[in-house]
Structure 1
Amino acid sequence: MPRTVALIRGVGGPTAMKMAALREVLASAGLGEVETLQVAGNVVLDAADRSPDDIAATMRDAIRGGFGFDLPVLVRSHAELVDAVARNPFADAAEGRWVQTVFLDAPPAEPTLTLPDGIPEEAVLDGREVFVRYPEGIGGSKLQAGWFEKRLGVIGTARNANTIAKLLALSA
């Protein structure tokens, strides 16, 4: 049975967590068998009969109680991740680490996205995802997840195509 993927926004630096401790805290919160990928807030778990909102709230409470951090959590089913990859117009780009999907907690009230003039990046807003291609690399770009959050008025967290492929394999 496919599993559920939870993406924690803002893991790292002052909000860094040991992944073994995170797995333990989440399992203790009743989230079943929990796996993590990388040290960036990527969690795969069994949803059981829980709704995405319930999973997100349970995780957020557990992280706040276990680590003292109040970090947003966005949840997607395996099928939703498969669908996002299928809709990504940049999925065939040669450099997967320079293609990101910004997962949003809700569709923006205004479903249009206007990028600044003169930038090399391309971005497409589609429902609860923004697909972004960074032809010159991500590091120096102004179009980070926070830029999209501010313009769209929603919470978002970005993952590159390579990480999404690994999450798909773990959640299958």
Structure 2
Amino acid sequence: MPKTVALIRGVGGPTALKMPELREVLASAGLGDVVTLQVAGNVVLDDGGRSPDEIAETIRDAVRTAFGHDLPVIVRSHSELREAHARNPFADAAEGRWVQTVFLDAAPTVALEVPAGIPEDAVLDGREVFVRYPEGIGGSKLQAGWFEKRLGVTGTARNANTIAKLIALSA
């Protein structure tokens, strides 16, 4: 049975979470078969029949209570994650770590307008923004927060390599 993927935004630095503790906290919150990937807030779990909104709220509440951090959570089913990856027009780029998907909590009601004269390419497709960073991500202005401000939604980014691993883990 395919699993659900929860992406916790903003994990790191002052809001770092220890993954063994996070798995324990989420299991205690009633989320079953919890697996984490990396230390960036990537969680694969059995949804137990809960809706994506219920899962997101359960995780957000559990993290807030246990760690004191109020971090947004974006949830996708295995099939939604797989379909998003398949729709990514940059997925075949040579550098998978420089191709990101910004997963949004809702489909924006405004169009995406990328500034002229920048090297990055970005495409909005439903609840995802696909971004290619040909010169690397670090110095780019087109980070997840940039998209959030312009589109009026909450989002969190993951690179193509991480998404491929999450698809495999949630299969």
SS of structure 2 residue aligned to 1:114: coil
- Displacement of 1:33 in angstroms is 1.1
> Whole-Å Cα distance in 1 between the matches of residues 137 and 165 of structure 2?
20
Number of residue pairs matched by the alignment = 171
Counterpart check, 1:49 vs 2:55: no
2:120 alignment partner in structure 1: 121
SS of structure 2 residue aligned to 1:33: strand
What is the RMSD of the two structures over their aligned residues, measured on CA atoms? Answer: 0.5
SS of structure 2 residue aligned to 1:147: helix
SS of structure 1 residue aligned to 2:158: strand
Counterpart check, 1:59 vs 2:59: yes
> Whole-Å Cα distance in 2 between the matches of residues 53 and 113 of structure 1?
25
Q: Which amino acid aligns with 1:134?
A: Y
> Whole-Å Cα distance in 1 between the matches of residues 72 and 112 of structure 2?
23
1:140 alignment partner in structure 2: 139
Counterpart check, 1:81 vs 2:81: yes
| 1:91-170 aligned within 5 A | 91-110=91-110, 112-170=111-169
- Displacement of 1:20 in angstroms is 0.3
SS of structure 2 residue aligned to 1:158: strand
> Whole-Å Cα distance in 1 between the matches of residues 86 and 17 of structure 2?
32
> Whole-Å Cα distance in 1 between the matches of residues 168 and 35 of structure 2?
12
> Whole-Å Cα distance in 2 between the matches of residues 135 and 101 of structure 1?
15
Q: Which amino acid aligns with 1:60?
A: R
Counterpart check, 1:68 vs 2:72: no
SS of structure 2 residue aligned to 1:2: coil
> Whole-Å Cα distance in 2 between the matches of residues 10 and 63 of structure 1?
12
| 1:6-21 aligned within 5 A | 6-21=6-21
Q: TM-score, normalised by structure 2?
A: 0.99
> Whole-Å Cα distance in 1 between the matches of residues 31 and 45 of structure 2?
7
- Displacement of 1:109 in angstroms is 1.4
Q: Which amino acid aligns with 1:137?
A: G
> Whole-Å Cα distance in 1 between the matches of residues 170 and 86 of structure 2?
16
> Whole-Å Cα distance in 2 between the matches of residues 28 and 48 of structure 1?
14
> Whole-Å Cα distance in 1 between the matches of residues 61 and 49 of structure 2?
19
> Whole-Å Cα distance in 2 between the matches of residues 75 and 51 of structure 1?
9
2:33 alignment partner in structure 1: 33
